[in-house]
Amino acid sequence: MTNLTSELPDATIDGVKLPDATIDRASPVPFYFQLAQLLEEEIVGGRWEPGTRVPSEAELGSFYGLSRTTIRQALARLEQEGLVSREKGRGTFVSSSRLRSWLIQSTEGFFHGEVVRAGLAVTSQMLNLKRVALPLWACDALQVPSGAEGVVVERVRSVDGLVALYVINYLPDIAAEAVLGLDPDESLYQRLAEHGGISVVGGNRSIEAVIAGARLAELLEVDAGAALALIESVSCDLTGRPVDCYRAWLRTDRMRIDIQVTADRSNDVQPPDLVSLELR
């Protein structure tokens, strides 16, 4: 968390109270990130309601002693998160108090459960749902023989009507009967539990930055060469048996990945507060 101290006088501009904290100029955290965090807390905390006009770039720059370029970067970050919208000739307005985020440790196959709990609407376009011969990487991940049969679930998923993620799941044949009836907007893991008696309880996930090729660019409505986050996952049931693996390509301008970190209690170390790490 950025080291911010309450040293500035209260400031209210057109009825909007600015956070009375300083930018830590000795911190390695970029100034725009610190400011975006301050303003985000006002929005998410409900102190700035939807429709509220955010003070102008000049007003924010004057109050916090920051350049217009820095202010624009901070506002652009909030716009990427869906918290504000900028209207040409009118200014910047609070558009939502709900962060679009995916808690990567969640046992959900996608961010379905996390996003729905945040009050956002998840919709999907089903591209593929059928029995297939599993590709080699899926056979390795699921610990089944090369060429084994399974089921593929391929979807483009949107949050509040905005395309956010392309994901392709492969599951072993034992899950096929339950999965083949999946509705496009349905949680895959919830269906596995309710129709297949398979409960996903954990697994391994990795994240890396990749560049969109032609097909990904078309599916995710970005320019070829745009930066995306690739999430790879293998999920297991109660016995430790792999029951799903997926590769998901995420638009990080529309969704944020959250990672929560706690200390190990086994060494008498008190756990710190949950830390949110944002990939941008």
What angle in degrees, to the nearest 10, is found between the helix axes of 31-44 and 68-80? 50
Helix (H) or strand (E) holding 139: helix 136-142
Which CATH entry fits the domain spanning 11-94: 1.10.10.10, 2.40.30.10, 3.50.50.60, 3.20.19.10? 1.10.10.10
Spatial contact of 42 and 35, defined as CB atoms under 8 Å apart: no
Spatial contact of 94 and 83, defined as CB atoms under 8 Å apart: yes
Extents of the domains making up the chain: 11-94, 101-267
Measured CA to CA, the distance from residue 209 to residue 250 in angstroms comes to 10
Q: Which two tokens stand for residue 251?
A: 């638009």
Spatial contact of 175 and 244, defined as CB atoms under 8 Å apart: yes
Residue 81 CB neighbours (<10 A): 23
Residue 189 CB neighbours (<10 A): 22
Measured CA to CA, the distance from residue 220 to residue 209 in angstroms comes to 15
HSE (side-chain half, CA atoms, 13 Å) at 204:
6
Measured CA to CA, the distance from residue 28 to residue 34 in angstroms comes to 10
Q: Which two tokens stand for residue 35?
A: 């400011």
Measured CA to CA, the distance from residue 106 to residue 101 in angstroms comes to 11
> Considering the entire predicted model, what is its pTM?
0.60
CATH of the domain spanning 101-267: 3.40.1410.10
* Tens digits of pLDDT across the chain (280 residues): 334 333 444 577 777 778 777 888 888 788 988 898 888 888 877 788 888 899 899 999 988 999 999 999 999 888 876 788 888 888 899 986 555 555 444 544 444 444 554 556 778 999 999 999 999 999 999 999 999 999 999 999 988 788 888 999 999 999 999 999 999 988 888 889 889 999 887 788 888 999 999 999 999 999 999 999 999 999 998 889 999 999 999 988 777 676 655 455 444 444 333 333 333 3
